[in-house]
A and B are shown apart, each in its own frame.
Chain A
Amino acid sequence: MAGTELEILKGITLEIKSGESVAIVGASGSGKSTLLGLLAGLDEASGGRVVIGDTDLGELDEDGRALFRGRHVGFVFQSFQLLPALTALENVMLPLELQRQARAGAQAEAFLQRVGLGPRMSHYPRQLSGGEQQRVAIARAFAAHPSILFADEPTGNLDTGTGGHIIDLLFELNREEGTTLVLVTHDAQLADRCERRICLEAGAVVEA
């Protein structure tokens, strides 16, 4: 396809207020994950700007964005993305240690207690069920007190019952921490629980 450029996202202008919860919905291939990657500073946009607070992500290099993510961003992924080499506690401690926080252990323990995994802190990811792994991931995401949390299909790998519990937990913590929540999903019910909904189709916003 020489000479043809593939445009994945076009003309998206979007403002998310601090503390707001937003769902990005759309069919498979509509560009949801790409948008999430850009918003979270995991990817670089070929054009346009992403500004979080006072920071223009486009002006940062990859290491700069990494530092920014560490300080301001939390993630919850569809496939949990826990490090298999570390226990539940160590996984939650990881972002705190990366920021050289002094009381990483105590803080991580407190969050694991809050997600109901107090008794399983020393277990490795493979010793935990899917729901438990996602709870560890949620504890990890909130432990560093991020100002904005990105969740990519957080219930995608879970059965409905477990998924429901996870979502309750996510929203509960979100409320308590006052975090901005950006959530990608194609689950309409889940999207309904957010204050706002952005619908993507072929890379363009069709409904906001």
Chain B
Amino acid sequence: MFAAELLVAQNIGFAVIALLMIVGALRVVTTSNVVHAALWLVVVLSGAAAQYVLLAAEFVAVTQVLVYIGAVMVLFLFGTMLTRARIGTERDLNNPYWRLGIPVAGLLFAAMAIATVSSFGDEQLPADARVVSVAEISDQIFGPYLLPFWALSFVLLAAIIGAIVLARKD
């Protein structure tokens, strides 16, 4: 299935990174240590950035590294630090009915896999992928998608003010 004639290196890279991401994601949702979960999440997010490079989306990959691995992970580690007296293994991180999640996730994946394979079974991505330049993305953002950009600015402003108001000690 993965043995296209041309892009052997890309396919091997995809498989290795995808395996790493799946293992990391499983550890995020199963580990009993919150800090370890955050560090495994770094693995998944870095793998996602690598997949974006494979998908010829360099600017999004760089943004992913800057925003997620740079900023969001620091937020997570601070959140862990500020809400936990001790950093270490803990027992009660799961709900009592956590087993319910396995059939739900399995059924959801079965449905999505059937839909994906039946729609895009053997369709190849274009091999001579044109890298989308930053100028093109900025033309999109400041052209047809200007209104969502403004809305997003207000969302970020509201989030900043809201976070300060919520976390402030009175």
A and B from one complex: no
Interface of B with A (CB < 8 Å)? Answer: none
